[in-house]
């Protein structure tokens, strides 16, 4: 029988480091204005019961996870809907997840978020693997339950392997595009997980720029678009794609853009040196489905489409610049 979950560990010193530790029985950590470092530790949450069991509260606190392993099992009767929460409302400190391994079973009906980012602290996730042995509800790898802005996020060399309702990123908005702020992720292999889910319409005037480089994404299980976006009034969504491969075996567009309330919304997609392949038998869905009546800009340079029809566009202002696109 697992021990009763104790109160979270309240972290007071400026910096504490845990090295080669085993943490289990729903033992949690919470920081506010301090730094907590885990090096070569094992988190055995095989009957996870506590929501956001690893938690950075508003302030300037941070977590660093280096060479750690997480064994996660969230059962159907659990109240845990998140694993790690980053909620530090500062740009002066950062948090790292580096060279870690997550192995998870997520059961039950409530949605689950592995890494919940709720505020503007810079988060860097690199050289990390997420393995899902079973997923029943929608499970987000990095994101937030509702749209949140001013997010600073860098992701590099991530592998996602799993079966179930997986979503790689959800509801994270970078803030002002004019200021050069962007969410960056590259050199990732994402297998059987939706790529971007932004279907909770943001408050007005939200903006984001997402830059993807060298991403390989394969979707043969989810009968939904890999990138789904819904915008509200005066929102801007920019997606820059370079050197990426998207593969699907489903009769679905890869990208789907919609508006909740037309206003002065704007969507921008810039493709370079990328391929989109569909192996669904007897069908050629459009790779992009756009129901905008505002502004949609599409730039393509050295883009290959295999098994997809050309984009289906709405009735708004559509700026198409296919510098070099091939269909097969």
Alpha-carbon gap, residue 286 to 304, rounded angstroms: 13
pLDDT computed for residue 326 by the predictor: 57
Tens of pLDDT, residue by residue, the chain (328 residues): 333 334 444 444 378 999 999 999 899 999 999 999 999 999 999 999 999 999 999 999 999 999 999 999 999 889 899 999 999 987 778 999 999 999 999 999 999 999 999 998 999 999 999 999 999 999 999 999 999 999 999 999 999 998 878 999 999 999 989 888 899 999 999 998 999 999 988 877 899 999 999 999 988 877 789 999 999 878 999 999 999 999 998 888 999 998 888 778 899 999 999 999 998 888 888 899 888 778 888 888 899 999 998 877 776 666 766 655 555 5
Identify the residue whose tokens are 């920081």: 31
pLDDT tens-place string over residues 163-173: 878 999 999 99
pLDDT digits (tens, 9 = 90+) for 29-80: 999 999 999 999 999 999 999 999 999 999 999 999 999 999 999 998 898 9
Q: What is the pLDDT of residue 297?
A: 87
How much is the pLDDT for 3?
36
pLDDT score, position 317: 67
pLDDT at residue number 272? 93
Helices (H) and strands (E) in the chain, counts: 0, 28
Can you give the residue ranges of every domain in the chain? 8-172, 178-328
Looking at residue 282, what is its pLDDT? 83
Q: How high is the pLDDT of residue 128?
A: 98
């Amino acid at each position: 029988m697992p021990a009763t979950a104790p109160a979270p560990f309240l972290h007071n010193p400026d910096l504490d480091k845990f090295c080669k530790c085993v943490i289990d029985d729903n033992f949690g950590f919470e920081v506010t204005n301090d730094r907590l470092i885990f090096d070569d530790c094992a988190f055995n949450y095989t009957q996870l019961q506590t929501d956001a069991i690893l938690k950075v509260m508003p302030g300037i606190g941070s977590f660093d996870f280096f060479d750690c392993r997480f064994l996660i099992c969230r059962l159907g009767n659990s109240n845990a809907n998140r694993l790690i929460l980053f909620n530090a409302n500062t740009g002066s400190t950062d948090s790292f997840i580096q060279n870690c391994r997550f192995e998870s079973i997520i059961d039950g009906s409530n949605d689950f978020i592995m890494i919940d980012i709720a505020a503007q602290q810079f988060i860097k996730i690199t050289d990390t693997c997420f393995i899902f042995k079973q997923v029943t509800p929608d499970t987000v790898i990095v994101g937030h339950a509702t749209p949140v802005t001013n997010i600073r996020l860098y992701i590099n060399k991530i592998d996602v392997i799993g079966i179930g309702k997986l979503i790689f990123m959800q509801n994270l908005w970078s803030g002002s595009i004019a200021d050069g702020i962007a969410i960056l992720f590259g050199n990732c292999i994402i297998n059987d997980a939706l790529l971007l889910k932004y279907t909770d319409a943001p408050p007005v005037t939200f903006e984001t720029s997402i830059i993807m480089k060298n991403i390989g994404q394969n979707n043969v299980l989810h009968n939904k678009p890999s990138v789904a976006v819904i915008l509200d009034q005066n929102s801007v969504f920019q997606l820059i794609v370079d050197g990426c491969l998207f593969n699907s075996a489903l009769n679905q567009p890869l990208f789907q853009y919609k508006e909740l309330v037309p206003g002065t919304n704007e969507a921008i997609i810039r493709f370079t040196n990328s391929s989109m392949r569909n192996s669904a038998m007897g069908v050629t869905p459009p790779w992009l489905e756009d129901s905008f009546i505002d502004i949609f800009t599409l730039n393509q340079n050295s883009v290959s489409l295999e098994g997809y029809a050309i984009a289906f566009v709405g009735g708004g202002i559509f700026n198409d610049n296919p510098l070099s696109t091939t269909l097969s």
